[in-house]
């Protein structure tokens, strides 16, 4: 094997691939199971967007906090939330990350610094200001990261949070996951500026735009922003341009897409294909090593679904537990 031309070690590259592949297979399986009518509630899939969550979260530890969105499965997996507990949660079963009472849009795991997915657009950004303020007082160099979609980036909560984070010089990072749509509305219909870097500048924050389907670009940009925030350098905005492979929600007929758009994205904008091509052509990882990971991941997802289906549903008595957080 040739030398490693990437800034990441081989171990880190394998970890990145495993995380992205786990998210992809988790989501593709949900797509199938939701279609069969096995899953209650609403489901929004992160397939196609894996490089963003993965490239960012690899820089974080459990003490760093994130606030996610309605499209949160990938953020959870990349932040280290247990995949078996996540599947149970989405199936609405006891033993789930929130004992089966939250479902797809409310997965949280405070021990992992995952403050929660969120069905309310823009709700994560103020939470992250609070978490970042606490981190600043603790003085251990922790950061807090808010994820927001291009549509939700118009919410007042998000814009106020940018201002607050800048005024207080918080170790807060705002990631705009720009997949080009808010439900069926094209981004250009709803956001006046072309670049989120300009929008960040209006609030006094530095901003960077990267190709969110390129793991290496995301990892590098996020690394710089996070390292600066850890040292007291203040907040920043990171825009990741990306594509979502599925509809806005499962069941979306996607009539707003151009003909062949999904096929084009799967062929040319697949972050996993790009990553695999880069590491194998550089001779750093053999295709067989990636295939071995694929095999393991499929086994994990199969086990997660089997365990979720076998787990009991919450009882009426469970309605009264975990209503208030105990400190």
Ligand X SMILES: Cc1ncc(C[n+]2csc(CCOP(=O)(O)OP(=O)(O)O)c2C)c(N)n1
Distance from C-alpha of 123 to C-alpha of 120, rounded to nearest angstrom: 6
Task: Say if CB 240 and CB 54 are below 8 A apart.
Answer: no
Stretch that binds ligand X, among 76-84, 176-184, 201-209, 212-220 (CB under 6 A): 176-184
Contacts (CB under 5 A) with Mg ion, residues 240-299: none
| Positive/negative CA dihedral, 305, 16, 57, 235 | negative
Please state the closest distance from residue 177 (CB atom) to ligand X, in A: 6
Task: Say if CB 15 and CB 77 are below 8 A apart.
Answer: no
Structure tokens of 88?
């149970």
Task: Say if CB 229 and CB 246 are below 8 A apart.
Answer: no
- Cα radius of gyration rounded to whole Å, the chain: 19
Distance from C-alpha of 19 to C-alpha of 118, rounded to nearest angstrom: 22
Q: Verify binding: residue 69, Mg ion, rule CB under 5 A.
A: no
322 binds, among ligand X, Mg ion, none (CB under 5 to 8 A by kind): none
Please state the closest distance from residue 132 (CB atom) to ligand X, in A: 21
φ and ψ at residue 178, rounded to 5 degrees: -95, 95
Report the SS3 class of residue 242.
coil
Q: Verify binding: residue 149, ligand X, rule CB under 6 A.
A: yes
What's the Cα-to-Cα distance from 184 to each of 69, 111, 129, 151, 180, rounded to whole Å?
17, 35, 30, 10, 10
For the residues of 122-166, what is the DSSP string, one character each?
A: T-HHHHHHHHHHHHHHHTS---EEEEEETTGGGSHHHHHHHHHHH
Of the pair 54, 178, the CB lying nearest Mg ion is at: 178
Stretch that binds ligand X, among 7-15, 96-104, 174-182, 310-318 (CB under 6 A): 174-182
Stretch that binds ligand X, among 79-87, 143-151, 209-217, 285-293 (CB under 6 A): 143-151
Contacts (CB under 6 A) with ligand X, residues 50-89: 70-71
Q: Read off the DSSP letter of residue 170.
A: -
Distance from C-alpha of 127 to C-alpha of 144, rounded to nearest angstrom: 9
Task: Say if CB 89 and CB 82 are below 8 A apart.
Answer: no
Stretch that binds ligand X, among 96-104, 181-189, 278-286, 304-312 (CB under 6 A): 181-189
Stretch that binds ligand X, among 4-12, 145-153, 273-281, 315-323 (CB under 6 A): 145-153
Contacts with Mg ion, 143-182, as mask; x by CB under 5 A: ------xx----------------------------x-x-
Considering only residues 19, 179, 213, 276, which one is a binding residue for ligand X as defined by CB under 6 A? 179
Considering only residues 32, 138, 183, 186, which one is a binding residue for ligand X as defined by CB under 6 A? 183
- Order of all β-strands in the sheet with 207-211: 65-67, 144-149, 172-178, 236-241, 207-211
152 binds, among ligand X, Mg ion, none (CB under 5 to 8 A by kind): ligand X
Q: Verify binding: residue 239, Mg ion, rule CB under 5 A.
A: no
248 binds, among Mg ion, ligand X, none (CB under 5 to 8 A by kind): ligand X
Contacts (CB under 6 A) with ligand X, residues 116-135: 119-121
Of the pair 65, 248, the CB lying nearest ligand X is at: 248
Considering only residues 26, 158, 174, 181, which one is a binding residue for ligand X as defined by CB under 6 A? 181
Q: Which residue has the closest beta carbon to Mg ion? A: 149
φ and ψ at residue 90, rounded to 5 degrees: -70, -30
Of the pair 78, 191, the CB lying nearest Mg ion is at: 191
Q: How many residues bind ligand X (CB under 6 A)?
A: 15
Structure tokens of 313?
């549903």
Positions in the binding site for ligand X (CB under 6 A)? 70-71, 119-121, 149-152, 177, 179, 181-183, 248
Positions in the binding site for Mg ion (CB under 5 A)? 149-150, 179, 181
């Amino acid at each position: 094997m040739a030398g490693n031309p990437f800034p990441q070690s081989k171990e880190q590259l394998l970890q990145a691939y495993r995380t992205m592949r786990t998210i992809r297979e988790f989501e593709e399986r949900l797509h199938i199971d939701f279609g069969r009518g096995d899953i209650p509630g609403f489901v929004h899939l992160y397939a196609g967007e894996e490089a963003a969550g993965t490239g960012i979260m690899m820089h974080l530890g459990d003490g760093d906090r994130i606030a996610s969105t309605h499209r949160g499965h990938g953020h959870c997996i990349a932040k280290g939330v247990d995949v078996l507990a996540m599947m149970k949660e989405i199936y609405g079963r006891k033993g789930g990350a929130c004992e089966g009472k939250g479902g797809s849009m409310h997965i949280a795991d405070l021990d992992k610094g995952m403050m929660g997915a969120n069905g309310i657009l823009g709700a994560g950004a103020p939470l992250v200001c609070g978490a970042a303020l606490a981190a600043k007082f603790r003085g251990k160099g922790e950061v807090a990261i808010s994820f927001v979609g291009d549509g939700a980036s118009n919410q007042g909560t998000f814009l106020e949070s940018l201002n607050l984070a800048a005024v207080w010089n918080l170790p807060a990072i705002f990631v705009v996951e720009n997949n080009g749509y808010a439900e069926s509305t094209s981004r250009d219909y709803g956001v006046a500026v072309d670049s989120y870097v300009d929008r960040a500048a209006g609030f006094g924050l530095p901003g960077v735009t990267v190709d969110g389907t390129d793991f290496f670009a995301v990892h590098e940009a996020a690394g710089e922003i996070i390292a600066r925030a850890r040292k007291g350098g203040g907040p920043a905005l990171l825009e990741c341009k990306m594509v979502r492979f599925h509809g806005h929600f499962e069941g979306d007929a996607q009539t707003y897409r151009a003909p062949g758009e999904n096929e084009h994205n799967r062929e040319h904008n697949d972050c996993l294909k790009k990553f695999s091509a880069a590491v194998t052509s550089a001779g750093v990882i053999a295709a067989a090593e990636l295939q071995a990971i694929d095999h393991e991941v499929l086994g994990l997802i199969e086990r997660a679904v089997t365990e979720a289906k076998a787990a009991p549903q919450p009882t009426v008595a469970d309605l009264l537990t975990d209503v208030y957080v105990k400190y």
